[in-house]
Amino acid sequence: MKRTRYSAEFKAKVALEALAGDLTTSQLAARYGVHPNQITQWKAQARTGMAEVFSRGPEKTAKSHEQEIKELHAKIGQLTVERDFLAKASGR
């Protein structure tokens, strides 16, 4: 039996509906064709994930992205220098 992979958007949609409480977990499972235990897990992940989203500010997220971009640019530069050096050393 092949394991089904669900998109993050699908998981979020089902978890939000489960958190809303309009339908039971069994009803949601029947509607989306997912096992009730899976919905319970996604619901728990959504609860813990929401706290993290609200605990970090948008400016903190933007700064971490900028830092990551700087690190990646530095790595690209390093790899470019290494590639050029190896190309010269090999006579290409």
Residues 44-81 have pLDDT tens digits of: 999 888 877 777 666 666 677 888 899 999 999 999 99
Residue indicated by tokens 């499972």: 29
Same domain for 51 and 24, yes or no, is yes
Q: How many domains does the chain have?
A: 2
Let me know whether 46 and 81 are in one domain.
no
What is the spatial distance between Cα 18 and Cα 14, in angstroms, rounded to a whole number? 6
Do 20 and 63 belong to one domain? no
User: Is 64 found in the same domain as 48?
Assistant: no
pLDDT score, position 58:
63
* 49 shares a domain with 26: yes
CB 25 within 8 A of CB 39: yes
Are residues 18 and 2 part of one domain? yes
CA angle centred on 63, ends 72 and 9, rounded to 5°: 85
Does 31 have pLDDT greater than 70? yes
Domain residues for 31? 1-55
Mean of pLDDT over the chain = 88
Same domain, 18 and 45: yes
Q: Is the pTM value of this prediction over 0.75?
A: no
